[in-house]
Amino acid sequence: MTLVSPQYRSASSAAVAAHRTVFDAMDEVGPQVGDDMTVEVALCVMAGARAGHLIVRDDDGRCTGLVTRAQLTAVRDGSAYTDRIRLREITGNDEPFTSPLTAMSEAEHAMRGRRLRALPVVDEHGTALGVLTLSR
């Protein structure tokens, strides 16, 4: 889903847009993979799914982050790369997430501030519900 600034024609539609939440704009969660998967296998999964990103989960099914093709390619092309690098080594505990109840304006501001193009949407248990994407 691309976030844009729509042109509102009436006060009532502007009021509705002001109360939009992430839930209203998020895309389906898409492919999810375990954090023990290697970078090379993740790139193959991503290519097979024709996806630009993958949601990464831990052993309990909680979302630990999101990886993009660009991130995985940069790791693979790096001088420290080995075929043993796992996704858990790329994603960390400081990965950003958002709640489906977050206001769209707040989420968009945070994504632009951190220069994120995609952000996992998780529930109170850490389960991925969707992905919020932002075009530049």
Residue 13 lies in a domain: no
Cβ atoms 123, 129 nearer than 8 A:
yes
Distance CA 45, CA 24 (A): 28
Residue 32 lies in a domain: yes
Output DSSP code: residue 37.
S
Total domains present in the chain: 1
Distance CA 121, CA 28 (A): 10
Residue 10 lies in a domain: no
Residue 44 lies in a domain: yes
CATH number at residue 81: 3.10.580.10
pLDDT 10s digits, 15-51 = 455 679 999 999 999 999 999 999 999 999 999 999 9
Output DSSP code: residue 26.
P
pLDDT 10s digits, 59-114 = 999 999 999 999 999 999 999 999 999 999 998 767 899 999 999 999 999 999 99
